[in-house]
Structure 1
Amino acid sequence: MNDLDSLCQSSLFSEIAPNDIKKILKCLSATRKEYAKDEMIVREGDFVNDIGIILHGIAQSTKLNIAGKQIIVSLHYPGGYTAVLTAVSRGRKCPMSVQALEPLAVLFIPVKNILSRCTKLCMVHEQLLGNLFDSIAERALELHDRNDCLIMPTIRDKVLTYLIRVSSEVGAQTFSIPFDREALAEYLDVDRSALSRELAWMKRDGLIDFYKNEFKLLNN
């Protein structure tokens, strides 16, 4: 997948023609940067002035809880954003870190250039602004979905809340999740050993079946 294909997948450029994307990137003074595996793109506490769009590779957002334990907030794929909410929040520090999980390329666009009026591609810029607001709402809802898992009182409730949501999103009872056991434990903010035990008990009780990161919901 080339850079333009990734940008066409980004919600920021929804309903914008590929040729217009090329033109408006120049107007927006967009810059491309590459990162090595495990390199930090944004650190918790940084000021962020640019919207980052992933061109290739996968990144993850993490933060430290009060005990110093790393918690996975979300994963970011080509076409997705890095710290979009912080970029548009006008001076707030980023509440989480963003790290490359594999070699990564990111396109950075100064948010002030998106919010400024453009005299050359007005209709395209109007679409871009609308897309930006839609993207902000989408990102906020993603965080809301994760919070739904975190507020559940038991590990079983957290797991079921997450798996039912993924099943609903893909429209199937059998599906893959993007996490291994350690990452899923971090995402749900639970102990890995306790999670493994609970998954085994849920399988015994006929709630789920699974192999590695392949899951099937039963009786739901």
Structure 2
Amino acid sequence: MNNLDSLCQSRLFSGISPNDISQMLKCLSATRKEYAKDEMVVREGDLVDDVGIILQGSAQSTKLSVTGKQIIVSLHYPGGYTAVLTAASRGRRCPMSVQAIEPLEVLFIPIKSILSRCTKLCMGHEQLLGNLFDSIAERALELHDRNDCLIMPTIRDKVLTYLTRVMRETGTETFTIPFDREAMAEYLDVDRSALSRELAWMKRDGLIDFYRNEFKLLQKAVEKDFH
């Protein structure tokens, strides 16, 4: 996948032709930057003035709890964003860090370039501005989805809430999640050992089947309303 393919997948450039995207990047003063595996893209507390779009690789947003524990907030893949909510908030510091999971390439666009009237009257700029609001809503809903997991009272409820959402998004009862056990525990904010035990019990109880990060929700779980 080339960089233009990633931008075409991004909600920010939805409805804008590839040719127009290439021309708009110059007007938007867009810049590319590469990061090594584990390198920080944004640190918690940074001021962020640019919308970052993942071109290649993947990254994760993390936050430190008051006890110093790292919690995974979300994952980012080509076409996804880094710190779009913070960039649009004008002056608020980033509430989380963004770190490269693998070698990463990010396109940064100054938020002021998106919000300002285009001096060259680019055909797609008005569409871009509308897409920005859609992107902000999309990111807010991603955080809402994670909060749905966090507010569940038990580990079992957290797991089933998360797996049910992934099943609905993929449209299949068997799917692969992007987490290993440690990352899954961080995402659900539970102890890793406790999570592993609960997964084994859920398999015993006929709710799920799994092998590593491939899961299947069994009919008993699909029919139950966990919300």
Please tell me whether residue 204 in structure 1 is matched to residue 214 in structure 2: no
Equivalent residue number for residue 33 of structure 1: 33
Equivalent residue number for residue 119 of structure 1: 119
* Deviation readout 1:97-124 (Å, 9 max, x if unpaired): 0000000000000000100011323531
What is the rounded CA distance, in whole Å, between the counterparts of 1:5 and 1:122 in structure 2?
20
Opposite residue 201 of structure 2, the aligned amino acid is: W
Please tell me whether residue 44 in structure 1 is matched to residue 44 in structure 2: yes
- What pairs with 1:126-141 in structure 2 (closer than 5 Å)? 126-141=126-141
What is the rounded CA distance, in whole Å, between the counterparts of 2:55 and 2:97 in structure 1?
19
* Deviation readout 1:65-97 (Å, 9 max, x if unpaired): 111100000000001000000000000000000
What is the rounded CA distance, in whole Å, between the counterparts of 1:122 and 1:90 in structure 2?
24
- Contact 1:24-1:121 at 8 Å conserved across structures: no
Please tell me whether residue 104 in structure 1 is matched to residue 104 in structure 2: yes
What is the rounded CA distance, in whole Å, between the counterparts of 1:150 and 1:45 in structure 2?
23
Equivalent residue number for residue 168 of structure 1: 168
SS in 1 for 2:123: helix
Please tell me whether residue 190 in structure 1 is matched to residue 190 in structure 2: yes
Question: What is the alpha-carbon root mean square deviation over aligned residues?
Answer: 0.7
TM-score scaled by length of structure 1: 0.99
Please tell me whether residue 21 in structure 1 is matched to residue 24 in structure 2: no
Structure 1 position 5, deviation (Å): 1.1
What is the rounded CA distance, in whole Å, between the counterparts of 2:89 and 2:75 in structure 1?
21
What is the rounded CA distance, in whole Å, between the counterparts of 2:117 and 2:69 in structure 1?
43
What is the rounded CA distance, in whole Å, between the counterparts of 1:208 and 1:172 in structure 2?
13
What is the rounded CA distance, in whole Å, between the counterparts of 2:145 and 2:203 in structure 1?
24
SS in 1 for 2:60: strand
What is the rounded CA distance, in whole Å, between the counterparts of 1:121 and 1:74 in structure 2?
36
Equivalent residue number for residue 181 of structure 2: 181
Structure 2 residue ranges without an equivalent (≥5)? 223-227
- Contact 1:30-1:110 at 8 Å conserved across structures: yes
Structure 1 residue ranges without an equivalent (≥5)? none
Equivalent residue number for residue 63 of structure 2: 63
TM-score scaled by length of structure 2: 0.96
* Deviation readout 1:162-215 (Å, 9 max, x if unpaired): 000000111111111000000000000000000000000000000000000000
SS in 1 for 2:119: coil
Equivalent residue number for residue 74 of structure 2: 74
* Deviation readout 1:127-180 (Å, 9 max, x if unpaired): 000111000000000000000000000000000000000001111111110000
What is the rounded CA distance, in whole Å, between the counterparts of 1:14 and 1:56 in structure 2?
18
SS in 2 for 1:123: coil
Aligned length: 220
When structure 1 is superposed on structure 2, of 194-203 and 121-130 the one drifting more is 121-130
Equivalent residue number for residue 225 of structure 2: none
What is the rounded CA distance, in whole Å, between the counterparts of 1:171 and 1:131 in structure 2?
26
